[in-house]
Amino acid sequence: MEVTPGQYVQIDVLILLPSGAVIYEAKNMAGRLRFEEHPKRLDKVDEHGSITDRYDCPMLQLQDEIANLQVWFHLHGIPFGADGAVIMTGSAIIEKPPANGRIFSLREIRGHLAEKEKKTGMTVQELRQLADYIRRHNRPYIAFPLIGRFGISAEEVEWGPLCETCNSRLGRKSERVWLCPACKWKTADPFTRTLQDWFTLRSGTIVNRQVRELFGMKSPGAASRLLQFYPLNKDGDGRSTCYAWDYTTPLTRRQE
Ligand SMILES: [Zn+2]
C-alpha cells in the first residue's frame, strides 16, 4: 500500500481483529540464527559459530511495517492500532532470540490471536468495511525486474533461449524447431520463456533490436510479428517502439 506518495509498505500477512490490526512478517529461513544488537542485525552461523551470512534484522523490518501501517490508518482517518510479530516458517534454530520483540513459530500464531481476540473494539461489520477499503487501496507489489537486486551485470547473463532441461544455449534447427546441442531437447516455442526471463530479470521493456539479438533474427519485421503474439503495451512509433509487460496478466503466447 502507498503510505505517502512514492513510499510503500509491503506486508506479508495482515489480520484485522476488533482490537486492531496484526502484521505477520514471515521469514522462511534455515540454519542457526543469532539476533544481534547494536546495530540490530541477524547473523546466520555454522556449527562452529562462525558467521556465514548477515541479514537485515526482521524485527526492524516489522517495526517499519507497523509504523507505516499506523501512518496509513492515520492519514485515512481510521482510528485503528497495529501490532505484529515475525514468524519463522523454516527450520531455523534460533540460538539467540531478539532482546525485545516478538518472534514466533507458526504454531504460536493461534495463541497470539486468541489472546488479542479477547479485546473488543470494532464490530464485525466495521471490520468488513475496513477490509474492503484496504483491498481497494492495495496495489500489487511488483519487484520486477530483479537484476538490480543481485549485484550482477546484464553482460554476465545468457539472455538467449536456453534448454529447459540442461540450461545450454538452444540453437535454431529449422524454421519451427529449436534444439539443445547438449541433450537434444527440442521446442517450437523458446520465445515465451525467454521473454518472461527478460521481463522478470532484465527490464520491464523491450525494443525490436533486443528481440532480434535474443533470437538471432535478421528482420525487424519478424521480431515485431513475434511481439504481436504477446499481451504487451506498445509505446512510441517506428524504430523507437518500446514494448512493456505490466506484470499483472500472464505473459502467454496467443494462438496463431
Ligand atoms: Zn539441454
Spatial CB neighbours of 254, under 8 Å, sequence gap ≥ 6:
229, 230, 231
As a whole number, mean pLDDT of residues 122-136 equals 95
The model carries a pTM of: 0.64
pLDDT of residue 47: 87
pLDDT-based confidence at residue 8 (cuts at 50, 70, 90): confident
What is the reported pLDDT for 150?
81
* Residue 181 alpha carbon to ligand 1 centre in Å: 7
Cα 153 to ligand 1 centroid, rounded to whole Å: 25
Q: Ligand 1 center to residue 161 CA distance, Å?
A: 11
CA 214 to centroid of ligand 1, rounded, Å: 18
Burial 165-179 (b: 16+ CB within 10 A, else e): eeeeebeeeeeeebb
Is 84 a residue whose pLDDT tops 80?
yes
13 bridge partner residues: 24
Average pLDDT over residues 127-147: 89
- Please check the confidence at residue 34 and state whether its pLDDT lies above 70: yes
- pLDDT score, position 149: 81
The pLDDT value recorded for residue 251 is: 94
Average pLDDT, the chain: 92
Ligand 1 midpoint to CA 178 (Å) = 11
Q: What does the pLDDT read at residue 256?
A: 66
Q: What share of the chain is helix, strand, coil (3-state, %, to 5)?
A: 30, 25, 45
Look at residue 24 and tell me whether its pLDDT is greater than 70: yes
- pLDDT score recorded for residue 144: 87
Amino acid at site 97: P
- 190 CA from centroid of ligand 1 (Å): 12
Q: How far is the CA of 165 from the centre of ligand 1 (A)?
A: 5
Mean of pLDDT values over 101-120: 90
Per-residue pLDDT, averaged over 184-205, amounts to 96
E-state strands within the chain: 2-4, 7-8, 13-17, 20-27, 32-36, 41-45, 51-56, 82-88, 93-96, 103-105, 171-172, 178-179, 186-187, 205-207, 233-235, 242-244
Mean pLDDT of 100-129: 91
**234 bridge partner residues:** 243
Checking if the pLDDT of 181 tops 70, the result is yes
pLDDT of residue 231: 94
Percent of the chain scored above 90 by pLDDT? 68
Distance in angstroms (rounded) separating the CA atoms of residues 133 and 131: 5
Place of cell 516489522: 62
The Å distance, Cα 183 to ligand 1 centre, comes to 4
Measured over all CA atoms, what is the biggest interatomic distance in the chain, rounded to whole angstroms? 70
Q: What's the CA gap between 32 and 226, in Å, rounded?
A: 49
Q: Which helix (H) or strand (E) holds 19?
A: none
Q: What are the cell numbers at 243?
A: 514494448
Bridge partners, 207 (sequence order)? 242
Regarding beta strands 20-27 and 13-17, do their DSSP bridges make them parallel or antiparallel, or are they unpaired? antiparallel
Cβ burial of 243 (10 Å; 0-12, 13-18, 19+) is: buried
Instruction: Please report which residue ranges of the chain form alpha helices under DSSP H.
Output: 58-75, 109-117, 124-137, 191-197, 208-215, 220-228
Strand order in the sheet with 103-105: 13-17, 20-27, 82-88, 103-105
pLDDT of residue 37 exceeding 90, the answer is: no
DSSP annotation of 107 reads: G
Over range 31-54, report the average pLDDT. 90
pLDDT value at residue 58: 92
The pLDDT assigned to 235 comes to 92
Separation of first and last alpha carbons in the chain: 39
213: CA distance to ligand 1 center in Å? 21
